[in-house]
């Protein structure tokens, strides 16, 4: 899995540098995010979510799932639809 993330990240850097000319894709609180940065955030979030699911499956508490209520309501619905809750 981490080899795939590495390849995707290198691909994101290549696309960002050669095609997008390091264009800002997203701005949040005076921080600009380029494609590689967003890719790393996405990979990190998916791994944290996966770890939470694995802990829950083993009988523990899925903390990422418990923290969903801190997210804006419109984004909470995305997680709930995926979990059939």
* pLDDT tens, residue by residue, 11-28: 988 988 888 888 888 787
Task: Say if residues 63 and 49 touch (Cβ distance below 8 Å).
Answer: no
What is the distance of C-alpha 67 from the center of its chain?
Answer: 15
pTM of the model: 0.66
Give dist(CA 11, CA 5) in Å, integer.
Answer: 10
Q: For 44-68, how does the pLDDT look when each residue is reduced to its tens digit (9 = 90+)?
A: 888 888 888 898 888 888 888 888 7
């Amino acid at each position: 899995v981490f080899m795939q993330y590495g390849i995707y990240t290198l691909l994101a850097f290549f696309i960002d540098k050669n095609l997008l000319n390091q264009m800002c894709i997203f701005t949040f609180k005076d921080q600009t995010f380029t494609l590689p940065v967003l890719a790393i955030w996405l990979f990190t979030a998916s791994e944290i979510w996966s770890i939470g699911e694995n802990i829950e499956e083993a009988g523990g508490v899925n903390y990422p799932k418990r923290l969903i209520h801190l997210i804006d309501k419109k984004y909470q619905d995305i997680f709930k639809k995926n979990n059939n809750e």
